Amino acid sequence: MSDTVQASPDATAQNTLVPVTVLTGFLGAGKTTLLNHILTAQHGRKYAVVVNEFGELGVDNDLVVDADEEVFEMNNGCICCTVRGDLIRILGNLMKRRAKFDGIIVETTGLADPAPVAQTFFVDEDVRGKTRLDAVVTVVDAYNVIQTLDESPEAVNQIAFADVIILNKTDLVDEVALATIESRIRSINAVGRIHRAQRGDVPLSDVLDQGGFDLQRALEHAPRFLEDTSHSHEADVTSLSYEVEEPLDAAKFQAWIGAVLQEQGADILRAKGILNYAGEDQRFAFQAVHMMADGGFIGPWKEGEPRVSRLVFIGRNLNRPQLRRGFESCRAK
């Protein structure tokens, strides 16, 4: 849906949807190690992991307790599923086993742009009715990331798309280098949460069930991102963020954001926001990937919480004052 942003019925309905994590990262960054950890550790949660090829994981077959052509059930309760064809079909098959897992993780190949995978959760009605995109998680190789960013636009896109960034192999570089790397990452994506890791060993609470809409949590991790200071020379990828203190007119916002995505969607890698609609007691969460947008009410504002609408764009060739004026024009009169 590219011209309007329609609300889910209510926050309760949103909470019944299966959370989906899209896992991306450049070749050699450590995605496979992280997936092995999820599939084999006794962490008390059950996930369905969708991978391109099960054999690439190198998981010991003794850990597989049940398998059919494309679904492998692990002895820690997780399910591993290989993509042999259409992702939408795979997700449909997984939903028949809904009672067996808490969430879904979809791996992308090392060179892949995560946008098409993320867009799947906006475009297909059946998928939208049963799942919600929880977060895009990008695994970054601390040892090679500077060179990779210099040479690869795909790697820049993967960081720009991320809600969560796992900075892996931190034991191979010193603290000065890590500070430089994190600054470079922040210049591309000012709002993503960065977690340092070695050998992909991170608490799953840092990766999964992140509540992808939660800008407040992002603010806690990167409180300065609303200062609009972040600009990157990574092929001119920029993070822009805006606030409006007055309530918004829902129809005005939908008309404006629809036009923005139609005209500039190719350059907008990600957009997301928490909005205060006039006459509504609940927060409205919005996110978009290129031209595809989705949104829904995610529960009431906390008592004493400022009802401020916040909107973030990450992309190329973005006109900061034009977007600010457009967002501010959505105020309810």
What tens digit of pLDDT does each residue of 231-257 get?
Answer: 444 557 778 888 999 999 999 999 999
Q: Are residues 107 and 169 in the same domain?
A: yes
**What is the reported pLDDT for 280?**
92
Domain boundary among 184, 213, 242: 213
187 and 55 in one domain?
yes
Domain count, the chain: 2
pLDDT digits (tens, 9 = 90+) for 113-152: 777 777 777 777 888 888 888 888 999 999 888 888 887 7
> Which tens digit of pLDDT belongs to each residue from 19-74?
888 888 887 788 878 887 787 777 788 888 887 655 555 555 555 545 455 566 66
Query: DSSP code of 78?
Result: -
Q: How far apart are the first and last CA of the chain?
A: 27
Domain span at residue 86?
6-213
Q: What is the mean pLDDT of residues 96-113?
A: 79
The span from the CA of 59 to the CA of 187, in Å, is: 36
> Does residue 333 form part of some domain?
no
**Assigned domain for 127 exists:** yes
List the Cα angle 90/204/149 in 5-degree steps: 80
Q: Give DSSP secondary structure letters for 86-112.
A: -HHHHHHHHHTTGGG-SEEEEE--TT-
> Do residue 82 and residue 13 come from a single domain?
yes
Low-confidence winner among 87-96, 194-203, 223-232, 268-277 (lowest mean pLDDT): 223-232
Q: Is residue 252 part of a domain?
A: yes
Torsion 224-225-229-231 (CA) sign: positive
Domain stop point among 186, 213, 240: 213
118 by Cβ neighbours in 10 Å (0-12 / 13-18 / 19+) ranks as buried
Here the CATH number for the domain that contains residue 82 is 3.40.50.300
Q: Is the model's pLDDT at 13 over the cut of 50?
A: yes
Element (H, E) at 81: strand 79-82
Q: Is 281 in the same domain as 141?
A: no
Sign, Cα dihedral of 50, 51, 57, 63: positive
What percent of the chain is predicted at pLDDT more than 70?
Answer: 77
**Residue 324 or residue 8, greater confidence:** 324
In a shared domain, residues 201 and 167: yes
Average pLDDT, the chain: 79
Whether pLDDT at 77 is above 70:
no
Whose CA is closest to 11, among 299, 211, 276?
299
| Domain shared by 56 and 192, yes or no | yes
Query: How many whole angstroms separate alpha carbon 121 and alpha carbon 116?
Result: 9
pLDDT at 294 over 90: no
Q: Is 1 contained in some domain?
A: no
pTM for the structure as a whole:
0.72
Statement to judge: residues 136 and 168 lie in one domain: yes
Q: What is the pLDDT of residue 73?
A: 62
